[in-house]
């Protein structure tokens, strides 16, 4: 399975440019990959002051175009996350689109980042179940979720083989990004696909370093800090190989995490 990680440079207060550039890179990557993954809030960036006008709906042109690209190239798309209207609220939502262009899952960010007062902009999600993406069991998380191992364990116990984590993670906490991504993969024997953005917000640079971590915790591919597309081919059979040697999931005391 060949995955493209789109480490976009996300601009402040320029949704039109972000959308145009992001869609262009999705088109380029979809032509030669099985799955394309975008970063967190790649349409608006962290400029959240106009979400009521800039948040998407399921009928938005952005999602329609991503679905069209997926169908045209028979390439699944994990659309990072985008602000979305539903249920009368705005959520930070990660959308999974199958290779046939079907919208197969919406995950609303569960853990909102209190340090940046995200609760003032987004409602917290509650739909944290694994899902099928082209016959592959997957799980979605977003950015700050990486600090909550119970969510990853929950998804792994449901059978997730790949857990996605689109993010806008700052350079100031970059060492923690790598540490946690490796830990979440190693402790659950799953692939973790963590896609960060490039650029900066209010002068503070994002860390970049989008990565694919294998089920042993080894980093299989990693970006630098600038915008780039990272390509990584993974073998899902590696999960069973790792678990045949040591399978911590088999020894989980499930009554302790209910």
Residue 81 vs residues 84, 180, 183, 204, 215: alpha-carbon distances, Å: 9, 20, 23, 21, 24
pLDDT over 90 (residue 258)? no
Percent of the chain at pLDDT exceeding 70: 100
DSSP state for residue 119 in the 8-state scheme: G
Res. 86 pLDDT band, cuts 50 70 90: very high
Q: What confidence score (pLDDT) does residue 63 get?
A: 98
Q: What number is the average pLDDT over the span 218-222?
A: 98
State mean pLDDT over 131-158.
97
- Of 129, 145, 127, the C-alpha closest to 194 is 145
Q: Are 156 and 125 in contact (CB under 8 A)?
A: no
Catalytic site residue from 75, 118, 138, 143? 143
109 belongs to the catalytic site: yes
Catalytic-residue membership of 150: no
Question: Residue 39 — pLDDT band, cuts 50, 70, 90?
Answer: very high
Confidence of residue 156 (pLDDT cuts 50, 70, 90): very high
Span 193-221, average pLDDT = 97
> Could you tell me the pLDDT band of residue 71, with boundaries at 50, 70 and 90?
very high
Q: Which residues, including other chains, have CB under 8 Å from residue 96's CB and lie 6 or more apart?
A: 76, 77, 78, 79, 103, 104, 105, 106, 107, 131, 133, 138, 140
Task: Quote the pLDDT of residue 116.
Answer: 82
Distance, CA of 145 to chain centre: 10
CA distance 187 to 104: 27
The arithmetic mean of pLDDT across residues 22-45, rounded, is 98
- For the chain, what is the mean pLDDT? 96
**Runs of H (alpha helix) within the chain:** 15-30, 51-54, 61-73, 149-157, 174-188, 237-245
Q: Tell me the mean pLDDT in the region 228-251.
A: 96
Average pLDDT over residues 128-152: 97
pLDDT digits (tens, 9 = 90+) for 101-130: 999 999 999 999 998 889 999 999 998 999
Q: Where are the domains of the chain?
A: 2-252
Q: Which CATH class is domain 2-252?
A: alpha beta
SS (H, E, C) 76-97: EEECCCEEEEECCEEEEEEEEE
| pLDDT of residue 181 exceeding 90 | yes
Lowest-pLDDT range, 183-197, 204-218, 219-233, 240-254? Answer: 240-254
- DSSP 8-state assignment for residue 125: P
Active-site residue, selected from the candidate residues 9, 15, 75, 109: 109
Model pLDDT, residue 221: 98
The CB-side HSE value for 175 (13 A sphere, CA atoms) comes to: 0
Query: What percent of the chain clears pLDDT 90, i.e. is strictly above it?
Result: 93
The number of angstroms, rounded, from the C-alpha of 105 to the middle of its chain's C-alpha atoms is: 12
Which pLDDT belongs to residue 48?
87
Query: Is 98 a residue whose pLDDT tops 90?
Result: yes
């Amino acid at each position: 399975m060949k995955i493209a990680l789109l480490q976009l440079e996300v601009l402040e207060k320029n949704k039109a440019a972000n959308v145009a550039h992001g869609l262009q890179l999705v088109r380029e990557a979809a032509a030669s990959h099985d799955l394309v993954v975008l970063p967190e809030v790649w349409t608006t960036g962290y400029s959240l002051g106009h979400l009521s006008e800039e948040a998407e709906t399921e009928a938005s042109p952005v999602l329609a175009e991503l679905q069209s690209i997926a169908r045209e190239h028979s390439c699944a798309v994990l659309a990072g996350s985008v602000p979305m209207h539903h249920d009368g609220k705005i959520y930070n939502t990660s959308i999974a689109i199958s290779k046939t262009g079907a919208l197969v899952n919406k995950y609303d960010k569960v853990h909102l980042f209190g340090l940046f007062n995200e609760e003032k902009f987004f409602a917290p999600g509650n739909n944290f179940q694994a899902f099928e993406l082209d016959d592959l069991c997957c799980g979605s998380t977003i950015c700050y979720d990486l600090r909550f191992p119970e969510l990853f364990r929950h998804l792994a116990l449901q059978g997730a083989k790949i857990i996605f984590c689109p993010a806008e993670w700052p350079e100031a906490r970059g060492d923690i990004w790598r540490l946690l991504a490796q830990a979440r993969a190693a402790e659950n024997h799953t692939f973790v696909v963590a896609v960060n953005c490039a650029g900066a917000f209010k002068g503070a640079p994002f860390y970049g370093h989008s990565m694919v971590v294998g089920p042993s915790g080894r980093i299989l591919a990693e970006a630098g800090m600038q915008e780039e597309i990272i390509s990584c081919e993974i073998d899902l059979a590696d999960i069973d190989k790792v678990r045949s040697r040591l399978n911590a999931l088999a020894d989980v005391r499930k009554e302790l995490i209910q």
